[in-house]
Chain A
């Protein structure tokens, strides 16, 4: 199984295709922030939980935009799902990342999980398990920057930045300023 963060195979022959520019990404995040505000009656009882690595800064950006649009302070948390994955044995053990519960907890809140790429759905499944340990949310929704298809579980996103039809041999690379020094979404590998 591959995820967006796996090291890329030999890409020397196929150039990266730019799917979203920094400007596109800003507009997409603005739209998702508006959609969350719309669905949650202005961000009432809503918390954002980012899934590391890149879901965490994305969740913070969404919270910033929601504050700018409506003046609401939406609590942000980070949830590392590694210890809840069901495919650990098929891949190498990964270093863990931080987990921080959002201020005020998640009990009876509308929890919006935030991740960069939705692919097999296994990360989201692990996140749902991990979330259960923090309490019982009122509802859980999913926001992703990119949906690339190839689901292996019955999971769908509530907010999608961009749907990108991909081949399994391709890789979607999300770059974020906070982690990678610039904003972009690239498609790598595959059909040459």
Chain B
């Protein structure tokens, strides 16, 4: 039986729905409470193993584990044994020896969580590996869509921007297609990965032609991953692929605008769009905690793992 969450493709429709339903019940159970804490994972240890800088994902996982009463250890590569040259495997074996029940891992190399899962007995949760996957982000995005729009089946989702470097896009395409949504990827040809035609999604180069959607998800332009120049200038990118107020005006009345954060205001998304009522950016953050609580509960809570 599998006990890791490495890829959004690990989840079939029933399991993905179980995660979303569980998150919803957890959110309802804690709503309006003074003490937002559940005793469910008392005595379990969750290690946040972050080889790459991250604020919201690490804090979100930390909060999720703490609200379930697990003990949380934060390990960031900076200032740790990794900066002294320790390998991923030796780090993993150290954590194993300390009895980590779950390791939440963020790594700049695609596939690192998969390797880790072969070395340790605890559950491994992929919190973003290179340009590969970020399954809990996809789950919280799906949760946010379902909460706002009431369904996922048949939903038209347009994902715009740097698909090439985006683990968020990859995980979202996999999960949303599992859940019955129709995904369109919009990007300049230089920012689409090789083999994108095999993904369960439509591909377009024209944002204006792809605005007839229920959800528009803007991706961050990841300058830190861009060694070469993928587009002529930020201004040109923004003009062709940025979501500004004029484009937002072309959306359907109840369409929502999403962004996984952190955003480059004025680049892929205009400030007035990010702050509009259509924007779910802040909701995505709070939903992230509920969804990660659901994942940790389902992986660590019982003797058998339903995922």
Contacts and interface: CB of A to CB of B under 8 A. Distances in A.
Contacts of A89: 301-303
B32 A101 contact: yes
A95 B35 contact: no
A100 B29 CA distance: 7
A95 B297 CA distance: 10
Interface stretch (B5-13, B18-26, B202-210, B261-269): B18-26
Given A84-B40, A91-B303, A93-B301, A99 B29 contact: yes
Interface of B is mostly: loop
Contacts of B68: 83
A53 to B, nearest CB: 13
B18 A95 contact: yes
B25 A88 contact: no
B28 A99 contact: yes
A134 interface: yes
Which of B26, B29, B303 is the most central at the interface, judged by chain A CB atoms within 10 Å of its CB?
Answer: B29
A83 B18 contact: no
Given A93-B306, A95-B18, A95-B22, A80 B301 contact: no
A174 B297 CA distance: 28
A97 B29 CA distance: 9
A158 interface: no
Interface of A: 80, 83-84, 88-101, 129, 133-134
Given A91-B304, A92-B302, 10 more contacts: A83-B38, A83-B68, A83-B297, A84-B39, A88-B301, A88-B303, A92-B303, A92-B304, A93-B304, A96-B25
